[in-house]
Chain A
């Protein structure tokens, strides 16, 4: 054990691991590569998987294992599907900067093409949900009111009435849904990233997900009107109370000071 851990720090260790990983995945690929049917598609697909594998080896393998089998630092990726990769990498959560209660979203470091390649590779490790099509996530033609009811039943308990986010245990939190693309919302429901439970098609069909996306778009989108004025974060009575104290009572006390103050005198003695 000791010897192994000493060797892990050897300068050439990374190279050896990389080579091993490449050999292993290459071997796996050779073993499991599907027989050619629709030639052109297949080639494109296998090219993507190849590229994805390279990216994976550099960016992901250290935590998720060389073949996506997982390690103490990261869960196995067999069967999570392309949707999970597209969500995690597409929102910048992966690759993670440091382990913690929760991996927050960050600046996305891969291009969409690279993400697709990674997704293709991870999807090749085991069947899982695929990236939704434009049509699946578009709010068009959805039942917003039904989406609202579904949202309040399934989502609001963590993400708040209009998706402003909320607290979970020990520093974890349900993030705000403001500005999250419909595709990522869909993928999150489909795959259940990190501590979020999944809402698979078997219990929440595609149509329901579309309704929910349409509802979020209606109540927390760029064009959403807040008829009453400032939303105050959409957080409810706590921010309203702070506003009433600071701006409401604050303004009235300022006015009271003016009303009660002495008028300036003509001569200063």
Chain B
């Protein structure tokens, strides 16, 4: 390509003189490749005033970028982080975030827009064809490499001395075991931790909202209450782990509406306590519809019927929500009569 030196290549005359493109299509094959079409000039190639205009646009964009950067710094210094402004149609938003984002965005965008406009209107737009070369090696090269490899392998005696080879394989195969063993202390073994919760016979049911123990009279038909075992406080170090299994949901259903006999027996005058942890993958399930007694999980839509032993009536959960057996203590408070009879939360291999 002789037309690659700058600036001659932008001159129309230089391009017209040296035109490798546009060879005539072969007559007998109408579908034959006619070759690269001849290059056409842009206005900027011919009209210097148009080129100047482009130059000014590019420069303007770059200057705008500089001004935006200055505005960014000014906004950073001047605007307080807490200041809120109303921007139509977005609404009330942080003035600082909006100002910094818009100025940064403009500063960056203008650099890009300037560069692209420059490339599109002023840099040469002559299309050039570049040859491709085969990726596969020449047969001679391939033969040489294979021969070299064979020689190397032979010199190492890797193939001949099987004892060395096999012990090497053994050693390399075993070394990663150390790495795997090192991962052992990532966590304790599960043992039976997933089988037990903080509930025990005699533990009072404490209202999560008020931190007070609950009385049967507190729970109205159609209401929804969340409870935790007495003695569990939010600032406890293991609060999350304990509540992950012990979280409880309390509802009161008219006893005659309860279809499951065991459910009625394990409750107290229609007050029934179910695990709040979904048996699917453990979301806190509590979208309770008081007229249908259905409870829905917001994560994957498993639906349980609280008036029928919390059996699954829709969705991906595999088994009913575990029920906690409750009664009333001597002082008249609701209390657990033991731990859950089965593991709460998502199912796992050892659950059985």
Give the interface of A toward B (CB within 8 A).
150, 153-154, 157-158, 166, 168-169, 172, 174, 192, 194-200, 202-205, 208, 223-231, 258-259, 262-267, 269
The interface stretch among B159-167, B206-214, B256-264 is B206-214
User: B142 to chain A: closest CB distance in Å?
Assistant: 39
Given contacts A197-B289, A197-B290, 10 further A-B contacts (CB under 8 A): A154-B209, A192-B290, A195-B289, A197-B223, A199-B224, A203-B207, A229-B90, A231-B91, A264-B42, A266-B43
CB of B287 within 8 A of CB of A168, answer yes
- Secondary structure at chain A's binding surface: helix, strand, loop or mixed? loop
* 8 A Cβ contacts from B2-29 to A: none
- The residues of A that contact B290 with a CB separation of less than 8 Å are 192, 195-198
List the 8 shortest-distance A-B pairs measured between CB atoms, nearest first: A197-B224, A227-B94, A202-B218, A195-B289, A225-B84, A265-B40, A225-B92, A197-B290
How many B residues, CB 8 Å from partner? 50
CB of A203 within 8 A of CB of B296, answer no
Alpha-carbon separation in the docked complex, A228 to B93 (Å): 6
CB of B209 within 8 A of CB of A172, answer no
User: B13 to chain A: closest CB distance in Å?
Assistant: 14
Alpha-carbon separation in the docked complex, A197 to B251 (Å): 9
User: B340 to chain A: closest CB distance in Å?
Assistant: 21
CB of B90 within 8 A of CB of A230, answer yes
User: A203 to chain B: closest CB distance in Å?
Assistant: 5
Indicate whether A157 sits within 8 Å of B286 (C-beta atoms), given known contacts A200-B220, A228-B94.
yes
CB of B84 within 8 A of CB of A195, answer no
Return 26 A-B CB contacts under 8 Å, by A number: A154-B209, A157-B284, A157-B286, A166-B298, A168-B289, A169-B292, A192-B290, A197-B288, A198-B220, A198-B222, A200-B218, A202-B220, A203-B207, A203-B210, A203-B223, A208-B209, A225-B92, A227-B97, A228-B97, A229-B101, A230-B90, A258-B116, A262-B125, A263-B42, A263-B125, A265-B41
- The residues of B that contact A267 with a CB separation of less than 8 Å are 40-41
- Which of B41, B43, B224 gathers the greatest number of chain A CB atoms within 10 Å? B224
